[in-house]
Structure 1
Amino acid sequence: MTASLDDLLRPQHVRDNLGAWRWSVRRQLVPVRDRLRLEHPDRGEAWLSARASRALRERDELLTRLNTLASQVLVAPDVDDLADRLNRLLVDIAHHHQRVHDLAYDDVELEIGGSE
């Protein structure tokens, strides 16, 4: 059974088998990176365009952080700190996905005249 990335970042997993943990985390980061790369918020109306541009900038920043941490997974001496930073990144990515979802919802609401 393969542990999820959230499970792998819990402290007890870090100390079990460090080499296996590092490779498992690195493998689990690939779909996270792929999902972020494929994300393209629609720019829609002018007022949504600024929010979509912000979402794209935020996505690029998250990808940069993800790539930096992914390169450190195999070599970082302090794996507890690395696990903490990866956890923070996952929370930030979840918040980003919610903002992108809200942006798409606002765009659909605008198209169908859902505001008062």
Structure 2
Amino acid sequence: MTATPSLILMLREMIDEVIPEGGTDKETHFSDDFLTQVLTESSSLEEAAAKLWELKAAKAFSERGGIEETRAGDESIKYVSLAEYRDHCYQMADHYKRMTKGYGTKLFSIDLPEIGLKEVDS
């Protein structure tokens, strides 16, 4: 698929990776160049989104170094558990996979014949 700026913007929305106002793509998990590559290798926007959600799930632990809570002075930040975040990412990946064309279809359907043993009279 051919990546365009509008498709990259839509893909960012689908994977919850919107560039902050006044910011750049460097402030997100995925650069525009990487999104362009994923879109180019995908057959649909939904397929690209599914791939990226799976990548987010795979990176969940390393992004925070396993930290679920951090404290600095009087300020404390508690994140959603890594397992919950990972599961959410996989659920989103599955959601977009189901939207891809041909998901769950079969190219061929073959009914196998019943095979039985025939008794032979001696």
| TM class, shorter-length | 0.3 to 0.5
Which structure is richer in relative contact order (CA contacts within 8 A, separation 6 or more)? 1
**TM-score (norm. length: structure 1):** 0.36
**TM-score (norm. length: structure 2):** 0.35
